[in-house]
């Protein structure tokens, strides 16, 4: 329960008390600043508390945005201010200053102006960060006289706040398919869910279950199963849009919810790839290499996005001619949608997969997916390289730390770093590329069972250590983590394909999926402000270079059949290790009341 302290004399005909109770507040009246301070002291420290002027006139949704968003310790709209437990101390100090000021002014307690607004001013002067939501055409004000009050009420009646609330439930930046084919009706599904008390996490879970059923239908290998899989995959995506819209509609943001939404998206898509491979196998077609290739390409695409954004998140002088040109192109309406579509975001990608599954074969579906993702990856990566080369950004220590965390270097690289001299500035991506290319090319060209892949993996470990020996602050240093991902995943894929025995590629698929989960989990922890997973987990998982060395060693020492068993055991071990720690962390963070997050993010 939250508490609202309503200051000043009640206004006849005002709906403010009812509005506050509808938003989940218990209402306590306060006659003046001193009384409000007393009421504030009586509210338990673990509760949200708000101070609202009794003369407030505005839309219910304006109050909801200003007083109930869980992401911000302090927030305000005209005539109202709120604090969560993390912002309680700052609010208490600001209230005390206002009470003292009222006493100094000769005991003036009539609140001729708004106490809530004066508190916000005091918070600003103290350097506290107060969130002020964008209200647009929503009304929120404290009228000074009856005429102004009447005009404010007319302004409230002229604007449909429910229509605005529904519109704001849709992500501001989304792909063409999502914007025009899903959101026009999924927002109403989100409202339906909200009115029945469903939570975003419940809808997220329903989306996951639907996608898993779709994957199971694809795994049947029948035409009816493929058609059902395509339909269910699209419905899963509708639910995937609905959970975020429900979170925005009802302001139900949470740390756990952001993690579930992000990780379940990856789990749904990659489980579906596996379903396609199983279905194709029932028809006598082995497409596991294509399914694993699609997962590798998509994961590497994402790490390019993550690394580039982290490298430039807080960089200074962060402009470039390329970025300026991109901004100009976005000012031309049709180019915005074309550019969003060609990067194959999740909406376009899933729609394409669903349709192709229903009308073609798994092989065609995966080949088209690989071609589309390869083009999208080339387009986005080339644009980001151009931006990096033409901007004169100075990157921070925080960005360098984030890139080092994304690199996922293990104990082998750590040991080699102690004896390896750092590379000259700007050459870290070159070293990462050379080492990664060496191990993947050797795995592809020398066949299964030879020692040369192991030698190349050792060279890769050495170049990897040299690449991260110095802080990654160069213009293109954000390419280092993607090069590491491509080398590790590609080596596993190639060696499993070269083994050419039943079960090798599915085992490799499981191993890459487990390791990719670990890498995604690292990203989401960094985005949530928690930093990377603990060092013991990174070391226990071996780091990217350690796992690459281990897989190369297994291929050199074991027969193809034994290698398949070893990959399976390694996949299970890594999955258990990272999943247990990940679930433990996110659940404990949620229970501990970590700041709620809601990442609009990029179109995934």
**Tell me: the pLDDT tens digits for 68-100?**
999 999 999 999 999 999 999 999 999 999 888
Residue 377 burial (CB count, 10 A): 20
Q: What percent of the chain has pLDDT over 90?
A: 78
User: And the tokens for 488?
Assistant: 């590790």
Top-confidence range, 16-30, 97-111, 309-323 = 16-30
**Percentage of the chain exceeding pLDDT 70:** 93
Mean pLDDT computed over 546-552: 97
pLDDT at residue 329 tops 70: no
The token duo for 408 is 């996922």
Question: Does residue 226 contact residue 151 with C-beta atoms inside 8 Å?
Answer: no
Residue 103 pLDDT level (bands cut at 50, 70, 90): low
Average pLDDT, stretch 91-119? 76
Instruction: Tell me the mean pLDDT in the region 377-383.
Output: 93
Of the segments 291-300, 334-343, 593-602, which one has the largest average pLDDT value?
291-300
Confidence of residue 321 (pLDDT cuts 50, 70, 90): low
What is the per-residue DSSP string for 1-50?
Answer: -EEEEEES---TT--HHHHHHHTTEEEEEESSHHHHHHHHHHS-TTS-EE
Q: Of the candidates 279, 276, 266, which has an alpha carbon nearest to the alpha carbon of residue 222?
A: 279
603 confidence band (pLDDT: 50, 70, 90): very low
pLDDT at 368 over 90: yes
User: Virtual CA dihedral for 255, 258, 259, 261, nearest 10 degrees?
Assistant: 150
Whether 602 and 523 have beta carbons less than 8 Å apart is answered as no
Largest Cα–Cα separation, the chain? 91
**For 318-343, what is the mean pLDDT?**
68
pLDDT at 313: 79
* Tens-place pLDDT, residues 519-547: 999 999 988 777 889 999 999 999 999 99
pLDDT score of 109 more than 50: no
Mean pLDDT, rounded, for 313-334: 62
Question: What is the C-alpha to C-alpha distance for residues 191 and 204, in angstroms, rounded to an integer?
Answer: 15
pLDDT given for residue 136 in this prediction: 93
Q: What is the mean pLDDT of the chain?
A: 91
pLDDT band at 111 (very low <50, low <70, confident <90, very high): very low
d(CA 214, CA 336): 32
Quick one: average pLDDT of 124-150?
94
Least confident of 76-80, 132-136, 191-195, 591-595: 591-595
Q: Are strands 74-77 and 57-58 parallel, antiparallel or unpaired?
A: unpaired
Whole-angstrom Cα distance, residue 210 to residue 604? 19
Q: Which helix (H) or strand (E) element contains residue 162?
A: helix 161-168
pLDDT at 175: 87
Higher-pLDDT residue of 9 and 563 is 563
Residue 318 is predicted with a pLDDT of 55
pLDDT at 324 over 70: no
Q: Does the pLDDT value for residue 602 go beyond 50?
A: no
Q: Is the model's pLDDT at 444 over the cut of 80?
A: yes
Cα 36 from Cα 38, distance rounded (Å): 5
107 pLDDT more than 50: no
pLDDT at 401 over 60: yes
Highest mean pLDDT among 381-395, 461-475, 558-572: 558-572
Mean pLDDT for 457-472 is: 94
Whether the pTM exceeds 0.75: the reply is yes
Region 250-266: mean pLDDT is: 91
What order do you get walking across the sheet with 49-53 strand by strand?
25-30, 2-7, 49-53, 80-83, 74-77
Instruction: Report H helices in 175-320.
Output: 176-177, 183-195, 200-218, 223-250, 255-282, 288-312
Question: Is residue 113 scored above 50 in pLDDT?
Answer: yes
Give 242 or 604, the one with higher predicted confidence: 242
| Residue 162 structure tokens | 């429910």
């Amino acid at each position: 329960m939250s508490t609202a302290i309503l200051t000043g004399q009640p206004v006849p005909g005002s709906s403010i008390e009812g509005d506050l109770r509808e938003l989940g507040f218990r209402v306590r009246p306060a006659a003046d600043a001193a009384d409000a301070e007393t009421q504030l002291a009586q509210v338990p420290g673990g509760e949200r508390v708000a101070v609202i002027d009794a003369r407030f006139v505005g839309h219910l949704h304006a109050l909801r945005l200003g007083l109930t968003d869980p992401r911000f310790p302090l927030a305000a709209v005209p005539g109202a201010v709120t604090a969560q437990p993390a912002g309680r101390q700052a609010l208490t100090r600001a209230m005390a200053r206002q009470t003292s000021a009222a006493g100094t002014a000769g005991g003036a307690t009539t609140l001729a102006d708004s106490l809530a607004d004066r508190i916000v001013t005091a918070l600003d002067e103290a350097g506290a960060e107060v969130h002020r939501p964008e209200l647009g055409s929503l009304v929120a004000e404290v009228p000074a006289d009856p005429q102004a009050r009447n005009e404010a009420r007319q302004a409230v009646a002229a604007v449909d706040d429910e229509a605005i609330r529904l519109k704001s439930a849709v992500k501001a930046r989304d792909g063409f398919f999502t914007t025009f084919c899903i959101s026009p009706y999924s927002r109403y599904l989100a409202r339906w869910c909200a009115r029945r008390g469903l939570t975003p996490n419940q809808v997220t879970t329903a989306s996951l279950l639907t996608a898993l059923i779709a994957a199971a239908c694809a795994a049947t290998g029948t035409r009816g199963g493929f058609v059902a899989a395509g339909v269910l995959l699209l419905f899963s995506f509708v639910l995937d849009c609905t959970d975020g819209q429900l979170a925005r509609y009802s302001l139900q943001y949470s740390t756990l919810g952001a993690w579930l939404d992000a990780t379940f998206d990856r789990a749904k898509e990659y489980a579906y790839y596996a379903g396609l491979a199983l279905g194709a196998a029932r028809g006598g077609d082995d497409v596991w290499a294509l399914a694993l290739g699609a997962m590798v390409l998509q994961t590497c695409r994402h790490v390019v996005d993550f690394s580039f954004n982290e490298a430039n998140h807080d960089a200074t002088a962060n402009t470039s001619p390329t970025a300026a040109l991109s901004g100009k192109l976005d000012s031309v309406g049709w180019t915005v949608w074309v550019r969003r579509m060609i990067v194959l975001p999740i909406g376009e990608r899933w729609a394409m997969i669903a349709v192709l599954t229903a009308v073609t074969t798994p092989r065609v579906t995966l080949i088209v997916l690989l071609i589309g993702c390869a083009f999208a990856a080339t387009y986005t990566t080339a644009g980001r390289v151009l931006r990096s080369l033409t901007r004169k950004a100075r990157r921070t220590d925080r960005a360098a730390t984030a890139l080092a965390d994304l690199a996922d270097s293990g104990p082998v690289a750590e040991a080699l770093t102690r004896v390896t001299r750092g590379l000259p500035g700007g050459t870290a991506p070159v070293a990462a590329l050379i080492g990664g290319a060496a191990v993947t090319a050797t795995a592809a060209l020398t066949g299964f069972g030879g020692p040369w892949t192991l030698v190349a993996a050792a060279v890769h470990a050495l170049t990897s250590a040299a690449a991260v020996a110095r802080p990654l602050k160069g213009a293109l240093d954000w390419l280092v983590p993607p090069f590491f991902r491509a080398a590790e995943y590609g080596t596993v894929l190639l060696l499993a394909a070269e083994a050419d025995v039943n079960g090798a590629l599915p085992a490799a698929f499981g191993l890459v999926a487990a390791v990719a989960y670990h890498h995604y989990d690292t990203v989401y922890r960094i985005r949530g402000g928690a930093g990377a997973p603990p060092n013991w987990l990174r070391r226990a998982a071996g780091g990217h270079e350690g796992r690459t060395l281990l897989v190369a060693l297994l291929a050199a020492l074991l027969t193809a059949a034994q290698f398949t068993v070893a990959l399976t055991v390694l996949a299970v071990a890594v999955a258990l290790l990272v999943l247990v720690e990940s679930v433990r962390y996110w659940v404990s963070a949620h229970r501990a009341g970590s700041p709620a997050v809601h990442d609009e993010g990029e179109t995934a």
